[in-house]
Amino acid sequence: MNAQPSLVVGDPIEILDAAAEPAAMVRFENISKTYPAHRGKPGVVALRGIDLAIARGSITGVIGRSGAGKSSLVRLINGLEKPTAGRVVVDARDISALTGRDLRLAQRSIGMIFQHFNLLSSRTAADNIALPLEIAGWSKADIRARVSELLALVGIADKHDRYPSELSGGQKQRVGIARALATRPDVLLSDEATSALDPQTTRAILDLLANINRELGVTIVLITHEMSVVRQLAKEVVVLDAGHVVERGHVADIFTHPKHPITQSFLAEVTGDSLPVSLAGRIVQEPGGQAVIRVQVRGAGAGDTLIARLARELGLDVSLLSARIDEIGGRHVGALVLGIPGGEGAAARTLAWLSQFQISAERLGYVA
Ligand SMILES: Nc1ncnc2c1ncn2[C@@H]1O[C@H](COP(=O)(O)OP(=O)(O)OP(=O)(O)O)[C@@H](O)[C@H]1O
Ligand SMILES: [Mg+2]
């Protein structure tokens, strides 16, 4: 039998090894991108040695600060930019090697949505959605039928004849999504598509994208600088900084065990790691009273099991000071804040006991 004790069960990480995975929808092979010097401005290295595979049917969030290289990375996927070195393989085709008509044909299977929607103001919602179909040479009747289907899919069947100026931001992005899906792409790229929207509209658009992924099986690559967007929609996360992938993994792992300082700084904005004010104000560093220990938990019910076993096996009168459990990427993750009586020794024994299960825990201090 496996002697390793286990309280935590997780899914395998779904991000694939770039080299090993032929089933990837998108594969970056040792990609570098340098924008050349231009009109006296020096050249810019935007991406450096990226090896990354994006699984077919997945939703991958790409996060990073301004200038990290996010947009450069997605523009390589649809061939809007060419790599300086390396290959970008999309659905087994080397898109970076395609030009002209071959590139335009390949681009029909890769849709894209944008922060500012990029709709033509002189065309109605229906005619904006029709544009890629006109370019692809569809018949008028086929276009009419497909456009109606798409308007219904994105939930704005009643906006057929509206111009962009008559639509809200969320409705404009729905038109953008319908247009991106018109030619039935396998991949949908989203570059900050919710950044111009309020939180409620953002939520609705992210829900729509989740449905599209589930029902149509479209692989989604989502660029954002907001961890809350990643948390709501993505299953896999790639963290970019200064043109490097600095961290990647399942969204639940990234949220519970961020390794890179950049990831940690993004997370600080969104996690409910902050303690209840009433508790935070009482914590002191001199030993005494109860030790306050924060424990990361994963899996529904894991917290209950943990407290019961801890109390029983160490013979401690554990109290629960605060708890927060979220569902992230389909997994339950959260943090418990425990009160442990018995001074420094009991706190140290608790931390040692937890570490045998590879559970992250830290002593925050003591409360009277
Ligand atoms: N067409 C271009 N010509 C020259 N430099 C560029 C070009 N596009 C991007 N860059 C530079 O490449 C680097 C990466 O830019 P990129 O747009 O990929 O970053 P980003 O992560 O999308 O940033 P943001 O969050 O601000 O959109 C930046 O230093 C940027 O100034
Ligand atoms: Mg960008």
| pLDDT at residue 94 greater than cutoff 80 | yes
Return mean pLDDT, the chain: 89
Q: What is the pTM of this model?
A: 0.80
Whole-number Å distance, alpha carbon 35 to ligand 2 midpoint, is 14
Q: Is the CB of 69 under 6 A from ligand 1?
A: yes
Total residues found in the chain within this entry: 368
C-beta neighbour count of 324 within 10 angstroms: 17
Contact status, residue 272 vs residue 349, Cβ threshold 8 Å? no
Measure the CA–CA gap between 160 and 176, rounded to whole angstroms.
13
pLDDT digit string (tens) for 195-249?
Answer: 999 999 999 999 999 999 999 999 999 999 888 899 999 999 999 999 999 999 9
**Which residue in the block uniquely carries the two structure tokens 């039928």?**
145
Minimum mean pLDDT among 8-12, 129-133, 274-278: which range? 8-12
Q: Is the CB of 248 under 6 A from ligand 1?
A: no
**Which residue in the block uniquely carries the two structure tokens 């040792």?**
30
Atom 2 in ligand 1: residue holding the nearest Cα: 35
Q: Is the CB of 66 under 6 A from ligand 1?
A: yes
Q: pLDDT exceeding 70 applies to what percent of the chain?
A: 92
| pLDDT at residue 15 greater than cutoff 50 | no
pLDDT digit string (tens) for 334-351?
Answer: 788 899 998 889 999 999
Q: pLDDT: is 103 or 335 the higher one?
A: 103
Question: What is the 3-state secondary structure of 308-334?
Answer: HHHHHHHCCCCEEEEEEEEEECCEEEE
| pLDDT at residue 1 greater than cutoff 50 | no
Q: Is the CB of 224 under 6 A from ligand 1?
A: no
Instruction: Identify the band that residue 270 occupies on the pLDDT scale cut at 50, 70 and 90.
Output: low
Q: Is the CB of 72 under 6 A from ligand 1?
A: yes
Q: Is the CB of 226 under 6 A from ligand 1?
A: no
Atom 4 in ligand 1: residue holding the nearest Cα: 35
Measure the CA–CA gap between 339 and 275, rounded to whole angstroms.
13
Arithmetic mean of pLDDT, 90-117: 95
| Smallest-distance ligand from the CA of 48 | 1
| pLDDT at residue 353 greater than cutoff 60 | yes
Contact status, residue 176 vs residue 117, Cβ threshold 8 Å? yes
- Position 47 scores a pLDDT of 98
Arithmetic mean of pLDDT, 54-73: 95
Which of the listed residues 31, 32, 33, 44 should we mutate to test ligand 1's pocket, taking the one with most ligand atoms within 8 A of CB?
44
Whole-number Å distance, alpha carbon 132 to ligand 1 midpoint, is 27
Q: pLDDT: is 302 or 159 the higher one?
A: 159
Q: pLDDT exceeding 90 applies to what percent of the chain?
A: 66
- Position 7 scores a pLDDT of 41
Q: pLDDT: is 21 or 221 the higher one?
A: 221
CA dihedral sign of residues 306, 307, 308, 313: positive
**Which residue in the block uniquely carries the two structure tokens 């900050």?**
192
Arithmetic mean of pLDDT, 303-321: 87
| pLDDT at residue 2 greater than cutoff 50 | no
| pLDDT at residue 313 greater than cutoff 80 | yes
Q: Is the CB of 225 under 6 A from ligand 1?
A: yes
Q: Is the CB of 62 under 6 A from ligand 1?
A: no
| pLDDT at residue 9 greater than cutoff 70 | no
For the chain, the distance separating the N- and C-terminal CA atoms, rounded to the nearest angstrom, is 44
- Position 324 scores a pLDDT of 78
- Position 185 scores a pLDDT of 97
- Position 14 scores a pLDDT of 43
